[in-house]
Amino acid sequence: MKTLSLIAAFLVAPTLVSAGATVPSPSSSMYDPTFFAGFTWTFGGQSSASSVASAGSDGSNGLGFTLKVLSTNEPNTLAGALGVTYYFDGTFGCDAGAAYNHGVSSLTLTYDFCRGEPQIGLGVIREPSSTTITSPPPS
């Protein structure tokens, strides 16, 4: 079931990102969907409560490494987020939520559907392109 969820996340992510894309206006900066890589922590669920009590014994502490697709890399703005997480206890997660971009870093607040827990993440994104799109000369 988790494998199916991971495959679905990778298949749905490009569709969701492209559905929210808009055509840039002439002479505007270009902001694109981007990848996010970082560390994450789940909290508030049943497994988190047990992991806090047993963090040293079985290693299940809700910490993990995550890869996400964000709807934009525009700085100082909110973006949609969809991703997968490898937790250091050997489990996987699949999540969706929101991100706040700041320069080349981003803070995510998502919900992990595979684990049934909210998740917070901190990581890096690609810097926006500084090129501009200009209108073609009049004919």
Read off the pLDDT of residues 8-51 as tens digits, 9 standing for 90 and up: 444 445 444 444 544 444 434 567 899 999 999 998 755 444 44
Q: What tokens were used for 86?
A: 């490898």
Considering the domain boundaries, does residue 79 fall inside one? yes
pLDDT in tens, 82-138: 999 999 999 999 999 999 999 899 999 999 999 999 999 999 998 877 655 566 667
Residue 58 covered by a domain: yes
Q: Looking at residue 54, what is its pLDDT?
A: 38
pLDDT of residue 24: 43
Domain assignment present for residue 93? The answer is yes
In the chain, how many domains are there?
1
